[in-house]
Amino acid sequence: MNQTERVSTKTLYKLVKQGMIDANKLHRKGKNNPKSHQETRGEINSCKTIHERDEQYPQASTNQEYGHFEGDTIVGKNRQSAIVTLVEKKSKHIVLLKASRKSQEVKEAMLNWLNEQMETAIKTFTFDCEKEFSKWKEIKQESQTPIEIFFSDPGAPG
């Protein structure tokens, strides 16, 4: 290749992956994070999946039994606020809880609502894999209502 030919950085890194170019000859050695952002919200590990819910509660996936809620968040303007949405699968009853995007506030909003619902037959919650729900173990332990919490597959809609 002569000096007048140009190659995109994407092409260069493809050639590195193929072993045709030594990675040490390139200026950037890895991903660049210009803002040096460090994630402070928790991670969701060792959780039960929606497949386990379907085995344990087969009527939950067919919407034949009351008490199975699905949760998500609606994020507000400039990503500063959020509303936790809980939808009961059989009746389509919707519960909206005001919270920020912080997992501690989501936990507190969930516990306040759950502890008011002691008479109802709440069995399960299924959340998506957002970090707002990373305090799910604390929600389960501190709730006065016995509940099971499951998570959907990452990147899977519905």
The mean pLDDT value of the chain amounts to 81
At residue 96, the pLDDT reads 94
Structure tokens at 150: 């499951």
22 within a domain of the structure (yes/no): no
Q: How far apart are CA 62 and CA 56, in angstroms?
A: 13
Residue 126 — φ and ψ, nearest 5°? -125, 115
Residue 75 covered by a domain: yes
**Mean pLDDT value across residues 112-130:** 85
Question: Quick one: average pLDDT of 24-29?
Answer: 69
Domains held by the chain: number: 1
CATH of the domain at 99: 3.30.420.10
Is residue 7 situated within a structural domain? Answer: no
3-class SS of residue 36: coil
- Six-digit token string for 74: 């609606």
Q: Is the dihedral of CA 128, 130, 131, 132 positive or negative?
A: negative
- For residue 38, the model assigns a pLDDT of 63
Q: Is the CB of residue 9 less than 8 Å from the CB of residue 30?
A: no
Mean pLDDT over 56-82 rounds to 86
Torsion sign over Cα 148, 154, 89, 73: positive
Question: For residue 108, is it within any domain?
Answer: yes
Whether 141 is in a domain gets the answer yes
Element spanning 149, H or E? strand 148-151
Residue at 1 is within a domain? no
Ramachandran region, residue 151 (left: φ > 0; alpha: ψ -120 to 50; beta: rest) = beta
- Residue 113 belongs to a domain: yes
Q: In this structure, is residue 140 part of a structural domain?
A: yes
What average pLDDT does range 68-92 have in this prediction?
Answer: 88
**Residue of 132, 118, 123 lying closest to 150 (CA atoms):** 123
- In terms of Cβ atoms closer than 10 Å to its own Cβ (0-12, 13-18, 19+), residue 111 is middle
Task: Please state the rounded mean pLDDT for residues 28-41.
Answer: 59
The parent domain of residue 140 ranges over 48-151
Q: How confident is the model at residue 13 (pLDDT cuts 50, 70, 90)?
A: confident
Q: Can you give the pLDDT at residue 102?
A: 84
